[in-house]
Amino acid sequence: MTKPAPLRPKPDGAGSSVQLLPLSELPGPNLAMRKLPHPGRWLAAAVVVLLLAVLVRAFALGNIRWEIVGEFLTAPVIIKGFGWTMLITIAALALGVVLGFGFGMMRLSANPVLRYVAWFYVWVFRGTPVLLQLLIWFNIALIFPNLYIPGVVDVKMVVVMTPFVAAVLGLGVNEGSYLTEVVRGGILSVDKGQVEAAHTLGMTPGQTMRRIILPQTMRLILPVLGNSAVGMLKFSSLAATIAMTEMLNAAQRIYFINGAVIEMLFVCALWYLMGTSVLSVGQFYLERHFGRSQGGRA
């Protein structure tokens, strides 16, 4: 057996030469300073520039008619489609947040029935593909031909369940099942002392939840919500499969006619990037607002 290595590195070991300056040789205070060079960064930059050049060349010489991209970028159908995309995104996200907070709180309720209901919701909607859910909502009239609540509404389901409504329900309810778990985790991570302090002041569970726990949960789950918003914008393209004329669907209808497949897809890509960028900016400001107390234990 070999002896264990000594804990301390040997002085003057390879690659660790130490400069020894006797006190008598110390220079004055006004010395020029030189930063450590970072060759790795320069190398990385060179590689990136090279790759970009290759890509740009491929796109420029490839079989893409850029004038068509430019033409359709601002075409009314596309802009209208993008409007629907944004509308679905915002409505579904709002629904998801409401459901997420509602079921998230139920998951931690003292009432066991509420706990099981919330657990079941997550189990069903997180456990099946969102595309499948979308199709089921769209075809829900096959199970419930009429939307009938005594004294409130009584209409044919096919009238209510438009592609837009189905898209918002499908995406929102699915997102809610993810956010339920996020909210639950957020609530659990709030320091127990905060809750005890609220109780000793005489705050009821509802007041404690609204005024102490949820605001602190917000700060913790906002990064996830930002992610959800961006994801939702992209998943809204699934609504194209249920004949919702959101942007991707509109683009597909155009390229079935003019054959400019890659061009129309690029138009969509540019709009999606625009949308997600705007959402990221919004997220930045929201996070700054909720992070202003700089968190931490109080």
Partner 1 sequence: MSAPIVKTVGLRKSFGPNEVLKGIDLEVTQGEVLCILGPSGSGKSTLLRCINHLEVPNGGYVWVDGQIIGYELRKDVLHELTVKRLRAQQSQLGMVFQHFNLFAHRSVLGNVIEGPMVVRGLSRAEATERAMALLDLVGLAEKAEAWPAELSGGQKQRVAIARALAMEPRVMLFDEPTSALDPELVGEVLEVMRRLAASGTTMIVVTHEIGFAREVADRVVVMIDGEIRETGPAEAVLADPKDPRVRSFLGRVLARPAECDA
Q: Which residues bind partner 1 (CB under 8 A)?
A: 191, 193-194, 196-205, 207, 211-212, 215-216, 219, 292-298
Nearest to 88 by CA among 265, 237, 260: 237
- Taken as a whole, the chain contains a residue count of 298
DSSP 195-248: HHHHHHHT--HHHHIIIIIHHHHHHHHHHHHHHHHHHHHHHGGGGGGGT--SHH
| Residue with smaller CB distance to partner 1, 83 or 215 | 215
How many Cβ atoms from other residues are within 10 Å of residue 207's Cβ?
13
| Residue with smaller CB distance to partner 1, 146 or 293 | 293
| Residue with smaller CB distance to partner 1, 207 or 280 | 207
Asked whether 241 and 192 are in contact (CB, 8 A), the reply is no
At 106, list the tokens: 């139920």
Q: What is the DSSP letter of 128?
A: S
| Residue with smaller CB distance to partner 1, 225 or 242 | 225
CB of 222 to partner 1, least distance (A): 13
Q: Which amino acid is at 243?
A: A
CB of 295 to partner 1, least distance (A): 6
CB of 198 to partner 1, least distance (A): 8
| Residue with smaller CB distance to partner 1, 198 or 238 | 198
CB of 279 to partner 1, least distance (A): 24
Give the E-state strand segments of 132-215 in sequence order: 146-149, 153-156
CB of 58 to partner 1, least distance (A): 51
